[in-house]
Structure formats: structure tokens, C-alpha cells
A and B are shown apart, each in its own frame.
Chain A
């Protein structure tokens, strides 16, 4: 799988293929969609089965569900303030979807849907639209004051306003590019070192000895990628909360 034709082919892992045979092909249902569906099912299962016992002393699954809930709850209320509770379901859903996408993608033969800019940009665009709509709904026309700081001299408006608008528009781009780039970089690295293992392993007698080195690197990388998977979901959630803070408080 790693080294067909003795070359390093690190990018073919991101190609989309159809899932579910001819039915999937007929409706253009890709393996990316299948993994999204799997992630959604796993998330719902963890949360539903986790909270079902409602034990005072939580079991393993229940404490996992409670940990996710409390972590996100602290994050949202810490960033947005106590008004942030209304947006908790939104941030929670985003965080879980991104986290499980990243983590499921690390399993063998799995596909990482967060490694496609189309997916991350769609998520970031949803965040952008929601924060803008929240700001418009809460503050109406005052929202546009966001693009011109109070107390600045009026003759600077032609410079400040375009810069602020572009800065605001750059938010979904930086949000999506960060997640996408991190996931792609991690998976390319994993693939490159995995290919080294196979290529070096075929080099006669000394090959397998040398091949242990990239194998060790890959073991370390998997641990690192697990950290990155969590961290990027966290960054996505916290930036969403910061944008929501700006939308609610408007300054």
C-alpha cells in the first residue's frame, strides 16, 4: 500500500473514492462522507450511551461524556462569558465533529475528512455565518461600528475600514487553513516515513536493521499526531468561542 513502484507516494491517501459500491457511486457518496457518517454515529453513541446510566459515580463511558461536556462548557463560558451558554451546543458539535474526524483518521485504512480544505472551509464558513448573524441579530446596525474603532480620526476611515473588513473576512480562511494544513502535514509525514520503512526493509541484509529507525520515528509521530488531532479541534473550538465573544460583546 505504501510503496508501489518504489516511489514515495504521499498524496494518494487524500484521493476520494466511492464508498458502498455501485450505490455510493450512483449518488457520489465518497469514503469521506462515509467517515463523516461514522464519526457522527460514534459521537452520538458515546454521548447517548454515556449519559444513559445517569449514575452518581460515573462509569468509564459516562465520565468520558461528562469530561467532553465539562471541558467544552468551561471553554465556552470562559471565553464568551455566561451569555455563551446559548452557543454551547454549536461549539460542542463543531468540536466533537472535528475531534472525531481527526482521531478516526489516524486509524489504519481510515480516511481523514478534515484533511480536505473543502470540508474545513465549509465548517469555517458556518462559523463565520453564525457569528455574523449573531452579531447582526444582537446589535443590528451597531455591528458595522466594529469595522471602525471609536475615537479614531474620521479621515483615517478609508484606510481603517477596508483593513478591518479584510481582517474580518480572513477569519474563516485562517480557521480552515490551519486545521487542513495540520492534518495534511501530519498524514504526509506518516506516509513518507512508512514508505521509508518499506523501501529500506528491502535493501538486502542490512535493510531491516536500518528500517527500524523510520519505524521508531513513525511510532513517535503517531503519538504526536494524536496530540495535534486534539489540539486542532481545541483551537477550532476556542477560536469559534473567541469570534462568538466578539459577536456578543462587539469590541
Chain B
């Protein structure tokens, strides 16, 4: 390899490192740690938190509109759907679809 090429290569590396140039492909470094238990616990948290968020939002809207159980019930179901969506995204991340 000639000295010129070597210099170009090192310059490219340095520029990439400083974020001046986009890397040829973004490496997926630092993915979430795997393992069956860990994924399972994460999925559980996702479902429960989506349910809490849904039920909470429904309850808040009910409190505001004065229609107690109805929006709460609707958003409880929506929260469950969002939980399933969260788990789906956990297994199948959105940005890998590109």
C-alpha cells in the first residue's frame, strides 16, 4: 500500500471518529443484552407499563369529561393492544426494517 493511500485511510478513519463523515454503514453496536429470562422480564414490564399508561390516560380523560367508566374501559383495552405492540417492537425493532 502506498503512503498516499495509507494517509487517506487514516484521515477517513479520523474523520469518521469525529463524526464529520457518515460511516459507510451504521454498526448496531451495543444491542440490548439477550438471554431468555431477560427478554421475558422486559416483555412483562412493557405489557404492564402499557396497561398502566392506557388505564391512566383513560382515567384522566374520564375525570376531565366526567364519563367515568367508559373511556377507562376503552383505554384499558387500548393499553393492552399497546402492550402487545411494545412486545412486538421489542422482538422486531422498528429501525431494523430499513
Contacts and interface: CB of A to CB of B under 8 A. Distances in A.
Interface in B47-72: 48-50, 52-54, 57
Contacts of B53: 166-167, 169-170, 173
A238 interface: yes
Contacts of A177: 45, 48-49
**Main DSSP-derived SS at the A contact region:** helix
Interface residues of B, number: 34
Interface residues of A, number: 33
A159 B23 CA distance: 39
Given A79-B30, A85-B19, A245-B95, A163 B82 contact: yes
Contact of A249 (B23, B29, B42, B95): B95
A181 B45 contact: yes
Interface in A81-131: 81-83, 85
Interface string B19-46: 1011100111110110000000010011
A91 B83 CA distance: 26
Interface of B: 16, 19, 21-23, 26-30, 32-33, 42, 45-46, 48-50, 52-54, 57, 75, 78-79, 81-83, 85-86, 89, 94-95, 98
Q: Which 5 A-B pairs have the closest CB atoms?
A: A78-B29, A174-B49, A173-B49, A170-B53, A166-B82
Interface of A: 74-75, 77-79, 81-83, 85, 159, 162-167, 169-171, 173-174, 177-178, 181, 231, 234-235, 238, 241, 245-246, 249, 251
